[in-house]
Chains A and B, each alone.
Chain A
Amino acid sequence: MQTRGIIAVCVILSFTAGLAVASFAGFREFLPGLLEGARLTVLITVMGCALAVAMAFVAALTRMYGPAPLRWLAISYIELFRGTSALVQLFWLFFVLPHFGLTLEPLTVAVVALGLNVGAYGAEVVRGAVDAVPRGQWEATIALNMSRMEALKRVILPQAVLAMIPPWGNLFIELMKATALVSLITISDLAFKASQMNQTTYRTLEIFSIVLVFYLAIALLITIGMRALERLAARGLARGRAH
């Protein structure tokens, strides 16, 4: 089923790309600007994903094993960022934080807002995966006299990480798609370049078609990368079990 989806995407991808090259005069005219925008989109995606993963692990593990006040903090963070819109969070950090005397670069705001937003969703993914590790594994670590940190690091998380790779793939794609929002806080990413070119040339169909294909290609790369990572992790875990 998955492979069929991929095939379908490839068909559309090549079809749209073919259409763009075949009939869209001036395709070359837009390409350099859009590529520049795409570079920024990829940069924000990568940095946002890194922050999201870090926040997710910290928040989830604090929520599960932290002392009460820290646990409440983690829960508030997760609920706050899952309960409000990404765009509202972005605007809040961009427009409201300066009133509190903290002015950040737009790029920093973008990475922080998207990373915190997706990190909150990721925390639930991490929690679900850790919860799904069989109880017997915990009991075995107690029998082996491991500390909780040691048990998490050496027994529980390696197994949980494998289970959480596919949902993380989805979250990374969500984050990549959400980077289009940063165009609304003056960052010249792919979406911003597209709007800008649209306003000056009015070649709407060509520009937005190319941009859609760009996003599709990035999403496809993420999917392929995550699948490779999953295979790699599965092999590593199998080797660990064989010992």
Chain B
Amino acid sequence: MFWNWDYTWEIVPILAEASIVTIEATVLGFILAAVVGLLLAILRMSPRQWVSLPAAGFVEFIRSTPLLIQIFFIFFVLPEFGITLGALTAGVLALGLHYGSYCSEVYRAGLENVPRGQWEASTALNLSPYHTFRDIIIPQAVPPVVPALGNYFVALFKETPLLSAIAVLELMQTAKILGSETFRYTEPITLVGLYFLVFSLVAAALVRRLEYWLKQRWR
């Protein structure tokens, strides 16, 4: 017997409940990533080297080290400094910082594609840097890169099983617990795999639609 349908129907509701945590982590993590990424991209563009170099170094550092170790670092090291975070909070923070670094590269491409004249016009109109970014640059820089950000949304979604390593009760951790209770790993892990496959295919299709729609609108 490779596959037990009775057992499958028994665990589907449990996994469905766990998937809410997965989605929660994905959405919160991505909101954080989108904000952190934009901040890092703007800092990196600063003409002052003491601002731009650390930002660049931070991005390179985060992008060259494993997410799992970053999760461990935030979960185990921060308490030494008196900051104790819940497992889910630590996980969301790690996901947000990790993907924020990736998103910052995407934003940077968008920011660099805004024509120089727009900056010069803002200077001519005596707009403050804050207003230049908020009203002139960002509205032009962000919409074209939304599909690329969407791809990172899907990538972040697929990385959420890593949170099982710090015992967040998301899909993978729940599947592992179910497996260890019954010694049947086939059904839970396969179902988790199917869940990710279906959702990421759907999400990828949505990103493609979004790309098409943006192209029509921003031509």
6 nearest interchain CB pairs? A8-B57, A219-B64, A180-B66, A95-B185, A180-B68, A177-B66
Identify the closest chain A residue to B59 (Cβ). A5
- Measured between beta carbons, the chain A residues less than 8 angstroms from B179 are 95
Within 8 A of A (CB), among B40-71: 53-54, 56-57, 59-61, 63-70
Q: Does B189 contact A (CB under 8 A)?
A: yes
Number of A interface residues in the complex (CB < 8 A): 46
Inter-chain contacts of B9 with A (CB < 8 A): none
Kindly report which residue of chain A lies nearest to residue B192, judged by CB atoms. A88
Residue pair B200, A84 in contact (C-beta under 8 Å): yes
Using A91-B172, A91-B189 as known contacts, say yes or no to A208 and B73 having CB atoms under 8 A apart: yes
Taking the closest CB of chain B, its distance from the CB of A130, in whole angstroms, is 21
Interface residues in A174-219 by Cβ distance below 8 A to B read 176-181, 183-184, 191, 194-195, 198, 204-205, 208, 211-212, 215-216, 219
User: B119 to chain A: which residues have CB within 8 Å?
Assistant: none
9 examples of A-B residue contacts, CB within 8 angstroms: A8-B54, A82-B200, A83-B197, A85-B160, A85-B161, A92-B189, A99-B2, A99-B185, A99-B186
Interface size on B, residues (CB 8 A): 44
* Nearest A-chain residue to B200, judged by Cβ: A83
The A contact surface, by secondary structure, is helix
Contact B164 A84 (CB under 8 A): no
| CB-based contact A194/B72 at 8 Å | yes
Nearest CB in chain B: distance from A4 CB, A: 6
A196 to B174, CA, bound (A): 23
- B residues in contact with A96, CB < 8 Å: 185-186, 189-190
Q: Which of B64, B69, B176 contacts A194 (CB 8 A)?
A: B69
Tell me, rounded to whole Å, the shortest Cβ–Cβ distance linking B23 to chain A: 14
**Does residue A159 face the partner (Cβ distance < 8 Å to B)?**
no
Chain A nearest CB: distance from B65 CB in Å?
Answer: 4
A2 and B84 CA atoms in complex are apart in Å by 37
Contact check, B72 vs A87: say whether CB atoms are below 8 A apart: no
The reply on B208 being an interface residue by CB < 8 A is no
